Amino acid sequence: MSFTARVKEEITTLAISETAKIALLSGFVRNNYQVIDKNFVISNENPVILNYIKDLLSSFEEVKYKVETFDNNNFSKNKLQALIIIRGLDFLEKTLCLKEDSVPKYLVELDDEIKGYLRGIFLSSASINDPKTSRYHLEFLINSDKEAVYVQKLLNNYDLNIKLLARDKGFMLYIKEADKISDFLKIIGTTKAVLYYEEIRVYRDKKNKTNRLNNCEQANMDRVLETALEQLKYIKILEDTKAVELLDDKTKEALEYRKKYQEASLKELSEIISLETGKKITKSGLNHRFRKIKELALKLHT
C-alpha cells in the first residue's frame, strides 16, 4: 500500500464532529463529483475511502444513492467504484455548497471545520511521497482556479508555504519542505502518519549528515595527501641535486620526518616531532620549514 493510501485510510478512522463532517464532505465532493448522462456521480478507486463517504452521506436521510462499478480509464487495473445520487441532490448541493463559486465562511468557520475541509480535499485530490523512497513532496491537483487559490489560502493560514502552479489541466498546489509536510499531517490529525514520517525524516537527515561528514573527511584526507606528495617532490629535487646540506638543521629535521611519515598531516607531523625530539613545534612552524624546502627546490629546478 502506498503512503498516500495509508494516510487517506487513517483519515477515515479519525473522530470528527458533525459540522466537520459536512466540511469534509464539501471538500471531497466539490473536487470529486462528475455529471455523467445527467447522473451526479461521486467516485474513487479506493473502496475504503468510498465506504467512508457512504457512511458520512448516510447521516442525510434526504439523500439516497446507488453503488456502481466502472472500468477505470486512468491506466489502472483497479475498478472505479462510484456513488450515483438518485434522490436528494438539491439538498446535497445546498448543504455542501456545491453550486457556490467559493466556500461560504460559515461552512469552515471553526478550526475543526477547516481541518475537516482539508481532509476532504486530501482524500479527493492529494498525493504524498513516501519519505523512505522518494524526495519530500505533497501535492493537490485541483480543477478550479478559485478553489485552488482558496485551498492555498487555507493551508497558508497554517504557515505551510504551499505553492500554486498552473498545469495543462487544472492547478497543482505543492509543498517540498519536509517539516511543512509533517506539519500538514499534524494539522489533519493523522498521528500514525506523522510518527512514521518523522522517524524516516530523522533517519534520512542523520544519514545525510553522516555522508556529508564522510565526504568532508575524505576531502581533508585528499588535501593532506596532496600536500605531502608536493613536499616529497621538493625533497626529491634537493636530494637529486645534492642540495639538502644547504638547509639549516631544523629544516633538515622536518625533511627527514616527512620522508618517514609520508601520509601524516602537518598537525600530526608537528605532534610527532614534538613528542620524539622533546622540542615543541607548531603546525605553523613546521609549515614555515617546508616553505624553505619549496623555495630552495624551485630555485634549483628553474
Give the per-residue pLDDT at 78: 65
What span, in angstroms and rounded, lies between the C-alpha atoms of 38 and 178? Answer: 43
CA angle 212, 218, 222 (to 5 degrees): 145
Give the per-residue pLDDT at 221: 80
> How far are the Cα atoms of 27, 61, 99, 194 from residue 92, in angstroms, in the given order?
13, 11, 10, 33
Give the per-residue pLDDT at 219: 79
CA gyration radius, the chain: 34
Give the per-residue pLDDT at 157: 92
Global pTM value: 0.68
Residue 197's CB: how many other CB atoms inside 10 A?
Answer: 24
Whose cell is 465506504? That residue is 51
Here the cell at position 83 is: 456513488
Q: pLDDT 10s per residue in the chain (302 long)?
A: 899 999 999 999 999 999 999 999 999 998 888 887 788 888 888 889 999 999 999 888 888 888 887 766 655 556 778 888 889 888 988 989 888 878 888 999 999 999 999 999 999 999 999 988 878 899 999 988 899 999 999 999 999 999 999 888 889 999 999 899 999 999 999 999 999 988 888 777 776 777 776 777 777 787 888 888 889 998 988 888 888 888 898 998 999 988 888 888 888 889 988 888 888 989 899 899 999 999 888 888 76
Contact 77, 37 (CB under 8 A): no
Pairing of strands 33-36, 64-70: unpaired
Helix (H, G, I), strand (E, B) or coil at 70: strand
What span, in angstroms and rounded, lies between the C-alpha atoms of 167 and 206? Answer: 35
Helix (H, G, I), strand (E, B) or coil at 233: helix
What span, in angstroms and rounded, lies between the C-alpha atoms of 152 and 148? Answer: 6
The amino acid occupying position 182 is: S
Give the per-residue pLDDT at 266: 87
**Strand ranges for 51-176 from DSSP E:** 64-70, 80-87, 126-128, 138-142, 163-166, 171-175
Contact 173, 163 (CB under 8 A): yes
Give the per-residue pLDDT at 112: 93
Phi, psi of 160 (to 5 degrees): -95, -10
